[in-house]
Chain A
Amino acid sequence: MPLKSRHLLGLQGVSKEDIQLILDTATTFREVLERPIKKVPTLQGKTIVNLFYENSTRTRISFELAEKRLSADAVNFSVSTSSVSKGETFKDTMRNIEAMKVDMVVVRHSAAGAPLFLTQICDANIINAGDGIHEHPTQGLLDMYSIREKLRKIEGLKVCIVGDIAHSRVALSNIYGLKTMGAEVSVCGPLTMIPRFIEELGVKVIHNIDEAIQENDALNVLRIQIERKAREYFPSIREYAKYFGITEERLEKNGKDILILHPGPINRGVELSSGVADGLNQIILRQVTNGVAIRMAVLYLLGTLK
């Protein structure tokens, strides 16, 4: 059964069946990644452009590996400036790339809606690799995959997303995906970092991290972007770490075994203590491996659509 859309712009509105299909397909590719020769000919002859308007080495490498494992021709196009500064507009750049006859475009952009805009001006399959503070669907999918791998299910689980929800593209994709799959979702962070009206998405808001630990089966801890604007939303890193950071003491105090995810890169000593980051109950590095499998699944399912 094919996917219902020829693009992956976000997890909002993606059906349970489609998510299930992507996760199940990823399981197959996950197995490929354990083979000595990690390559399949599935997308041979397809050209994929990784159009990155924002630095993201990890996501780009993950997509690039996924493309290469599927035998597609991958081209990287990194633009340090966007159309807001002088130079070629986003639209012109895209038209130029399309003229080179590409089949799929993986796009990372600082502006929300940029992937949707691409679907209006070019014919390729568009995959959102993160747009502004909107969505990052493959991250949401790999988080769900990792939860399912570890806890054997998603439905009925309680998952809390911790950190700067308001400036995160990961949070919305997680919320949409997890809720579609039947999980109960909450968010936890300083209220300056929780978007107003988020509760209308059917999400509970918590601002006490101990409560979040006690109530949930899994925590998806977001990176605090200490280098960005988000820094203005809390008084100090010390205060954040003290009241919202996950430490071994805090986990011990709550006496609870809880699954901890993190999309990386980790700020050690801020949102996660080193002990927790390296501890047994986290699957952060598995998430990275799973990310390649998820991206292979998405590229395969979209690339082979008729």
Chain B
Amino acid sequence: MKVILKNIDVFHPAQKLNKKNTDILIEDGVITETGSLSEKKYADAEVYDFTGKVAVPGFFDMHVHLREPGREDEETVVSGCNAAASGGFTGIACMPNTEPAIDSAEVVEFVKKQANNHLVEVKVIAAATVGRKGEIISPMAELHEAGVVGFSDDGAAIKTAGILKRALEYSRMYNLPVIEHCEDESIAGGSMNEGLNSTMLGLPPIPSVAEDLIVMRDILLSEYTGGRIHIAHISTRKSVEMVREAKAKGLKVTAEVTPHHFALTDDAVKTYDTNTKMNPPLRTKEDVEEILKGLKDGTIDCIASDHAPHSAEEKEAEFEHAPNGITGLETEIGLALTELLHKNILTLEEVVNKMAINPRKVLDLPVPTFEARQQANITILDLNEIWTVDLSRSKSKSKNSPFDKRLLTGRAVAVVNNKKMFYQDKFIEL
């Protein structure tokens, strides 16, 4: 089948491509031509007019919780992929804190099988230790062979420095990162950031130093072992500073940030809304300022959602008893464009780097291009559409987001990948 994306802007920083108002011809899911196409090429093709929209390499969210196997009532691989497509992503990496944990080739196969033939490509991050218990490192060689893209005990940091050291040494053989949820549990253990707000709300605090300590430990061990550390959902000022220093020293340290950690502060918790409860918690204005600085200067490589679906009955509880986490796949691009692009924190090039290119680099995956004979893997953005988040229309099985009814500027209008397009709320076979 032939499809033409007509009158579209094409932008790919890594390919040094920036063309206005051109056409992309896709045949059987493969790009065959870009540039202004002659009339006769239109004859037997399906034509989609994308005037004023921008085609960029397909966005990739490297931090998603799919809940399958185990909590299919909250999210399945397919519902998560649908939410990703609707949110503008052509690829995601899913975290291993399922039940059972993804710590064997069999579970990796199971997850991949669920995602089979979906538009959205699912890459699997495996547990760093067996059962995420922090005692014995997972079978990393076998997991690597099964195609995993990283190792993480996300939800918690790898329990001891000794185990982390082994995980870094072992994963180094395959050039895969250890992705760390940085939190010292002996200091943390509360339900919101420690500050004046936690004192006034009477909520047990999570001091920022709980994150900083593990970031420091991880950087030191990365330096010592030569293994790669990726700091997940960085949230504190000091952590950003430490990653900046590590990078200046040329260490193999990368970092991601979630939209909620740059779009919100712990002031949002004041209503005890359990959709403002996540781990790491929302921090202060000073932390957000440093995160924005870190995004600008390249300290923070990636933007990732930490999409964490939870059932309504679990979230509709007392703040201290509600589970951590919010959904994010469908608000991520809107928040990045609103809070970063339109507020002149980042350029479009930087946004594309942090949402399409760098996540794939961290996970050692190829970056899609617009070159002829490449599979079409494209996110199409409307940078200026003003829209209101409506959770009732979310494709995720869970609706736990603090961003419902929020006005955003810019969104993804379509994605193309794996011989399919998602456009105007439906999947189209190409």
Contact = CB atoms under 8 A, between A and B. Distances in A.
17 contacts: A82-B321, A84-B321, A89-B313, A91-B317, A112-B203, A112-B272, A112-B318, A112-B319, A113-B320, A116-B272, A172-B202, A195-B198, A195-B199, A196-B205, A197-B199, A198-B199, A201-B196
B316 A113 contact: no
A12 interface: yes
Given A89-B313, A91-B316, A197-B196, A113 B201 contact: yes
Contact of A201 (B199, B319, B320, B321): B199
Contact of A111 (B196, B198, B207, B318): B318
Contacts of B272: 112-113, 116-117
Interface string B179-206: 0000000000000001110111111110
Contacts of B317: 83-84, 89-91
A89 B316 contact: yes
A82 B272 CA distance: 17
Contact of B202 (A89, A90, A134, A198): A134
B199 A196 contact: yes
Contact-size category for B: 20 to 34
Contacts of B320: 110-113, 132
Contacts of A84: 317-318, 321
Contacts of A117: 272, 318-319
Interface residues of A, number: 28
Contacts of B321: 82-84, 90, 111
Interface string B309-339: 0000100111111000000000000000000
A131 B202 contact: yes
B276 to A, nearest CB: 11
Nearest to B313: A89
Interface of A: 12, 82-84, 89-91, 109-114, 116-117, 131-135, 169, 172, 195-198, 200-201
A231 B184 CA distance: 21
A111 B199 contact: no
Given A84-B318, A111-B320, 7 more contacts: A91-B316, A112-B202, A132-B202, A172-B199, A195-B199, A196-B195, A200-B196
B283 to A, nearest CB: 14
Nearest to A169: B202
A131 B201 CA distance: 10
Contact of B318 (A113, A172, A197): A113
Contacts of B195: 196-197
Nearest to A121: B316
A83 B318 contact: yes
B313 A135 contact: no
Contacts of A133: 202-204
Given A82-B321, A112-B272, A116-B272, A132 B316 contact: no
Interface string B195-226: 11011111111010000000000000000000
A132 B200 CA distance: 12
B194 A196 contact: yes
A218 B198 CA distance: 27
